[in-house]
Amino acid sequence: MEGITALTSVITSSLTDGAASTGSTLAGSSPVENRDLACATRVLRTEADALLALAGSLDGKFLRALDILQGIEGRVIVTGMGKSGHVARKIAATMASTGTPAFFVHPGEASHGDLGMIAKIDAVVALSNSGETHELADIIAYTRRFGIPLIGMTRRAASALAEQSDVALVIPPEPEACPLGLAPTTSTTMMLALGDALAVALLERRGFSAADFREFHPGGQLGRALLKVTDIMHKGEDLPLCRLDSPLSDVIFEMTAKRLGCVGVTDDAGALVGIITDGDVRRHLTPELLAERADSIMSPRPKTIRPKALIVEALREMNDKKITTLFVIEADRPLGIVHIHDVLRAGAA
- Among 154, 174, 208, the domain-final residue is 208
Looking at the structure, do residues 49 and 194 belong to the same domain, yes or no?
yes
- β-strand 299-300 against 272-277: which pairing, if any? antiparallel
The CATH number of whichever domain residue 292 belongs to comes to 3.10.580.10
Looking at the structure, do residues 234 and 204 belong to the same domain, yes or no?
no
Looking at the structure, do residues 201 and 250 belong to the same domain, yes or no?
no
Q: Is the pLDDT of residue 3 over 80?
A: no
Looking at the structure, do residues 191 and 277 belong to the same domain, yes or no?
no
- Per-residue pLDDT at 18: 46
- List the Cα angle 220/224/227 in 5-degree steps: 145
Total number of domains constituting the chain? 2
Residue 341 lies in domain: 229-346
Q: Is the pLDDT of residue 127 over 90?
A: yes
Q: 3-state SS of the chain: helix, strand, coil percent to 5?
A: 50, 15, 30
- Among 177, 208, 239, the domain-final residue is 208
- List the Cα angle 104/108/114 in 5-degree steps: 60
Looking at the structure, do residues 57 and 166 belong to the same domain, yes or no?
yes
Average pLDDT over residues 73-85: 97
Taking only the tens place, the pLDDT of each residue in 132-153 is 999 999 999 999 999 999 999 9
SS3 54: helix
The CATH number of whichever domain residue 179 belongs to comes to 3.40.50.10490
Q: Is the pLDDT of residue 7 over 50?
A: no
Structure confidence at residue 221 as a pLDDT band (50, 70, 90) = low
Taking only the tens place, the pLDDT of each residue in 98-108 is 889 999 999 99
- Does residue 41 form part of some domain? yes
- Does residue 218 form part of some domain? no
- β-strand 333-339 against 325-330: which pairing, if any? antiparallel
- Does residue 8 form part of some domain? no
- Does residue 109 form part of some domain? yes
- Per-residue pLDDT at 10: 45
Of residues 180 and 47, more confidently modeled = 47
Between CA 75 and CA 283 the distance in angstroms is 63
Q: Is the pLDDT of residue 1 over 50?
A: no
- Per-residue pLDDT at 27: 64
Binding residues for Zn(2+): 106
Q: Is the pLDDT of residue 20 over 50?
A: no
- Please tell me the number of Cα atoms within 13 Å of 332 on its side-chain side: 11
Binding residues: 106
Looking at the structure, do residues 179 and 304 belong to the same domain, yes or no?
no
Taking only the tens place, the pLDDT of each residue in 108-123 is 999 999 999 999 999 9
Of residues 31 and 35, more confidently modeled = 35
